[in-house]
Structure 1
Amino acid sequence: MSDEGYEMEYIKEAFDTNWIAPLGKNINEFENEFAKKIGSKAAAALTTGTGAIHLALKAAGIGEGDIVFCPTLTFSATANPIIYQHAIPVFIDSDYKSWNMCPNALEEAFEKYPEVKAVMVVHLYGLSADMDKIVELCKKYNVILIEDAAESLGTYYKGKPVGTFGDYGIFSFNGNKIITTSGGGMLVSDNEERIAKARFWATQSRDQARHYQHSELGFNYRMSNVVAGIGRGQLKVLDQRVEKKKYIFEFYKRELGNLDGIQMMPTNEWDNSNYWLSAITLNGNVRPIDIMDALEKENIESRHVWKPMHLQPYFEKFDFVGTDVSEKLFDNGVCLPSDTKMNDGDLERVVEIIKGLWR
């Protein structure tokens, strides 16, 4: 819940007006308020960010046998919808500068697969990808660009919100995201006609008819009016959440940054991050498992950086373009506790446990 409790006002309105289903004022207003917040012309509120990626691919015309470039260092929800559309993912390595899709590896992939139909870029952990170079390459090869900004609502690249550089952008409101509706997602685009079509698909592709008629395959992806009310309340405190996430990152940087072998996740001159997660890499005697085990003994959760998709049993049959950057980030990376409800005492407890490994 937000710090101000705005959600209950909108939830109560949904119940008072008896609009509980995937129709109602909250859905319309959440879409409008969200689109305005990030500077996009249109938005569709959906049940998940994964569903938003799926409909973005469908709206982009991606189908059987089409090649889609996808970062290897990401959560499987980025790659799974490519398979839903019977398309073929080709995984692209990261670079150390951004931890995101490497423009050099992307260019190499274009040369290898000139028939590619779309590029999916991810803004990992709130860190913006190197968008100027990626957009330039997509324009050069005339391919659709889709941005998975599930982890990066509130992040800006050179003053422009991520998720608004490509043809489509997606966001997630899962329980662990910077704002949450417990579950949910948003698809955004400046192509209002395509967003309208996505809403149609998301409501089982029900035709305009007096009876139930379906001329296209549909999906049950539309957000409910109650959940959208939660989203409207959460959106009001997004800027406060970003401030707190940055505070947590700066706390860890100040307290841990001087320990031998620790490096904080990168920040760049182009990147105004939402700092969704504070992550570190290790190159000394202390290993990620040492930190995770020490924290776990005190009932504190931490995690590995994402395991690259091209190393996953399901996806290892697909091609990978790059070197070993994403593998090294996985091998050496740790995501630290980063919840906005953490106070200074909680943060001090985490850093003291970690410092203990160096003593």
Structure 2
Amino acid sequence: MGHLRPTPVAAALLPFPGRQPPGCQPPARLALSPPHLAGGEIEALRATLHAGWLAPAGPTPAAFEAAIGTATGFAATLATTSGTAALHLGYRVLGVQPGDEVWAPGMTFVATVAPAVQMGAVPRFLDVTPAGWTMDPGLLAEELALAARRGRLPRVVVPVDLYGQCCDLPAIVAACDRWGVPVLCDSAAAMGALQRGGRHAGRGATLAVFSFNGNKIVTAAGGGALASDDPALIARARHLAGQAKEAWPHYEHETTGYTYGISSVLAAVGLAQLPVLEARVQRRRAIFANYVESLGELPGLGFIPEPAWGRANRWLTVLQVDPARFGADREELRRALEAAGVESRPAWKPLHLQPAFRGAPQAGGAVAAALFERGLCLPSGSGMSEDDQVRVIDAVIRCAQR
């Protein structure tokens, strides 16, 4: 158990880079999900700079948006400064007002609801399913029916494709369609993930959001995107992203907007990254498979499941640690990895447990709380070498054997 044992499936997907020659210096700290360059970024940046484009204008942002559309299948896309900016625009075009309710799974990153809260909306957190760790569609349907009877439906429902794993979006959309509630899918970590039938993550929602932050499966060093099959919604978002300037010779504004368009520099990096998206998905799935093969027989360890309705991009590999069987709890394992120079991170602390949302309404929450209590994210970067993953695996095994 102390060495890496790649599965035949993993080996067929994409081979690991060769082992590095041993050195006398200790290995550098292994990061959770560092950027991984594709090789064409410098040339893309050089061409953009030589053409004189820096601002959110010119051919490069438009080309990046077209490439996102090709990769995801959405009819219309807008590239933004960040995934959070895209979420903010999504809330804005869906008409979120102060006092409106916005429903999201508790098991997510704060950015999912932060823009809505900053707009004066009230978040409501729903529990997730053990089968997929994403929003529970059955619970959602029940809560929507209760809300309709109270006469207070949410303005928008925001499911999350957690750790690059698709939520059961068709079931969520069906529950929301019954009451006319739009769906804004937070697919920030899910580029390259697929739903049932091969549809890209987020397809079927009113709007979907993606992130190209430095830790994502493909990166623009920053940046995000808002996507929809309704071009009118993206046109409205584009207007707001450009400071809501009207088509006049002078500066005319009927409302206020933002400086949310992506720069040509970041778009050039993202444009160079997107062609390797599928290879990066296969690489991270191979890394996940090797973790399962090498650690899956250890007592008390489990892995984030992949439900039948989709193919995860395995942005991060997430463990579940049962301390009674493993011999150490999640935090003890995290500290053991840190001592070995390996970054790991607890699973998302549910938002209903966060001080920032103290008192926010919720439905359930026990599943999400248990996942946080036992969940640990392992290094999953597509640039990991075989030696890198051996370091992680050996550290986990040593912790179990203490």
Shorter-chain TM-score tier: over 0.9
Mark the runs of 5 or more structure 2 residues left unpaired by the alignment. Answer: 1-34
Which whole-Å deviations, capped at 9, do the CAs of 1:135-178 have from their partners, x for residues lacking one? 21011121101100001110001111011120000000111000
Alignment partners' CA distance in 1, 2:399 and 2:44 = 47
SS of structure 2 residue aligned to 1:237: helix
Alignment partners' CA distance in 2, 1:167 and 1:180 = 24
Kept in 1, the 8 Å contact 2:135–2:159? The answer is: yes
CA RMSD of aligned residues (A): 1.2
Structure-1 residue corresponding to 2:169:
131
Deviates more, 1:94-103 or 1:126-135: 126-135
1:31 partner letter? E
Structure-1 residue corresponding to 2:375:
333
1:152 and 2:190 are equivalent in the alignment: yes
1:203 partner letter? G
Match runs of 1:260-271 below 5 Å:
260-271=299-310
Kept in 1, the 8 Å contact 2:109–2:348? The answer is: yes
Cα offset, 1:104, TM superposition: 2.3
Structure-2 residue corresponding to 1:240:
279
Which whole-Å deviations, capped at 9, do the CAs of 1:152-209 have from their partners, x for residues lacking one? 1100011110111200000001110001111100000011111111111111111222
1:20 and 2:59 are equivalent in the alignment: no
Kept in 1, the 8 Å contact 2:303–2:319? The answer is: yes
Which whole-Å deviations, capped at 9, do the CAs of 1:262-317 have from their partners, x for residues lacking one? 11110122221100000010123321111111111122100000000011001122
Kept in 1, the 8 Å contact 2:189–2:217? The answer is: yes
Alignment partners' CA distance in 1, 2:59 and 2:41 = 14
1:165 and 2:208 are equivalent in the alignment: no
Relative to structure 1, the CA distance from residue 152 to residue 4 in structure 2 (aligned partners, 3 Å threshold; closer, same or farther) is: closer
Cα offset, 1:351, TM superposition: 0.6
Alignment partners' CA distance in 2, 1:182 and 1:221 = 15
Match runs of 1:21-100 below 5 Å:
21-100=55-134
Q: Which runs of 4+ in 1 moved over 6 A?
A: none
Alignment match of 1:317 (pick from 359, 379, 394): 359
Kept in 2, the 8 Å contact 1:10–1:26? The answer is: no
Mark the runs of 5 or more structure 1 residues left unpaired by the alignment. Answer: none
Deviates more, 1:63-72 or 1:109-118: 109-118
Alignment partners' CA distance in 2, 1:311 and 1:323 = 9
Match runs of 1:228-307 below 5 Å:
228-283=267-322, 284=325, 285-307=327-349
SS of structure 1 residue aligned to 2:244: coil
Relative to structure 1, the CA distance from residue 3 to residue 47 in structure 2 (aligned partners, 3 Å threshold; closer, same or farther) is: closer
2:321 partner letter? L
Kept in 2, the 8 Å contact 1:169–1:189? The answer is: yes
Question: What's the TM-score once normalised by structure 2's chain length?
Answer: 0.87
1:33 partner letter? A
Cα offset, 1:256, TM superposition: 0.7
1:208 and 2:247 are equivalent in the alignment: yes
1:351 partner letter? I
1:110 partner letter? L
Alignment match of 1:188 (pick from 208, 211, 227): 227
Structure-2 residue corresponding to 1:219:
258
Kept in 2, the 8 Å contact 1:92–1:322? The answer is: yes
2:83 partner letter? G
Identity %, equivalent residues: 35
Alignment partners' CA distance in 1, 2:38 and 2:321 = 38
Alignment partners' CA distance in 2, 1:7 and 1:214 = 37
**How many residues get paired?**
359
Higher relative contact order (CA 8 A, sep 6+): 2
Alignment partners' CA distance in 2, 1:10 and 1:167 = 33
Alignment partners' CA distance in 1, 2:208 and 2:337 = 35
Alignment partners' CA distance in 2, 1:308 and 1:2 = 29
SS of structure 2 residue aligned to 1:229: helix
Kept in 1, the 8 Å contact 2:102–2:123? The answer is: yes
Deviates more, 1:168-177 or 1:201-210: 201-210
Alignment partners' CA distance in 1, 2:211 and 2:279 = 18
